[in-house]
A and B are shown apart, each in its own frame.
Chain A
Amino acid sequence: MAATIVPELSGVDEEVWRRTEALITQGLSGRPDAMVRQLVLFIRVVNVLAVVRFLRPFTALDDARRLRFLSSLENAPILAIRRGVWGLRTLVFMGYYGQDDVRARLGYRAKSLGWRAVRQEGADW
Chain B
Amino acid sequence: MVKHAQYDVLIVGSGAGGGTVAQALIPLVQAGASVLVVEKGPRFRDDEFTGHELDMAPALYEDGGGFLTADGTMTLAMGVAYGGSTVVYTGTSLTAPERVIRHWGVPGLDYADLVARSEKYEAENNVHLLPDEEINENNRLFVEGCHAAGYEARQFPVNVKGCLGSSLCNLGCPNQAKQGTNRVQLPRAERGGVEIVTRAEVLRIEERAVVVRVGEPRPGEKGEPSEWKPGDYRVEAATVVLAAGAVGSSSLLLRSGFGSRLPRLGEGFTCHPAFILVGEHEREITNDVGHPKSYYLDRAEEEGWVLETCMYFPFVTAKSLTGFGPSHSTLMRAFGRLQMILVLATDKVTAGNRITVDRRGRTAVHYTFTPSVVESMVDATRAATRIFFGAGAARVHAPPANPPLIERDEISRLDKRIHARFFRTGRVSVSAAHLMGGCGMGRDASQSVTDAWGRVHGHPWLRVADASLFPDSVEINPYLTIMGLADRVAEGIINDHAVNCASLGEER
Contacts and interface: CB of A to CB of B under 8 A. Distances in A.
Interface of A: 4-8, 23, 26-27, 30-31, 67, 70-71, 74-75, 79, 82-83, 85-87, 89-90, 92-94, 96-98, 100, 102-103, 106-118, 125
Contacts of B166: 110-114
Nearest to B429: A86
B324 A6 contact: yes
List the 5 shortest-distance A-B pairs measured between CB atoms, nearest first: A82-B426, A114-B165, A107-B336, A112-B174, A114-B164
Given A97-B315, A106-B336, A115-B165, 9 more contacts: A30-B58, A82-B426, A97-B314, A98-B314, A108-B314, A112-B51, A114-B165, A115-B164, A115-B289
A102 B314 contact: yes
B29 interface: no
A117 B286 CA distance: 13
Interface stretch (B64-72, B144-152, B202-210, B226-234): B64-72
B422 to A, nearest CB: 9
A125 B402 CA distance: 35
Nearest to B332: A106
A71 B323 contact: yes
A118 B286 CA distance: 10
B459 interface: no
A112 B66 CA distance: 24
Given A79-B73, A110-B313, A4 B51 contact: no
A36 to B, nearest CB: 13
B469 to A, nearest CB: 30
B54 interface: yes
Interface of B: 49, 51-54, 58, 63-64, 66, 71-73, 134, 163-168, 174-175, 284, 286, 288-290, 313-315, 317-319, 323-326, 328-329, 332-333, 335-336, 402, 424-427, 429
A7 B66 contact: no
Given A103-B314, A107-B335, A79 B134 contact: no
Contact of B427 (A26, A86, A103): A86
Contacts of A74: 323-324, 427
A82 B427 contact: yes
17 contacts: A7-B325, A30-B64, A31-B66, A71-B325, A74-B323, A79-B72, A79-B426, A83-B73, A93-B324, A94-B315, A103-B314, A110-B51, A110-B168, A112-B168, A115-B134, A118-B286, A125-B289
A106 B134 CA distance: 24
Given A4-B325, A71-B325, A83-B73, A93 B315 contact: yes
B289 A98 contact: no
B47 to A, nearest CB: 10
Q: Which of B134, B325, B326 has the most CB of A within 10 A?
A: B325
B314 A106 contact: yes
A8 B286 CA distance: 26
A83 B426 contact: yes
Nearest to A88: B324
A37 B52 CA distance: 28
B72 A83 contact: yes
A30 B323 CA distance: 26
B290 A114 contact: yes
A50 to B, nearest CB: 16
B78 to A, nearest CB: 15
A30 B429 CA distance: 21
Contacts of B427: 74-75, 82, 85-86
Nearest to B326: A7
B167 A114 contact: yes
Contacts of A8: 329
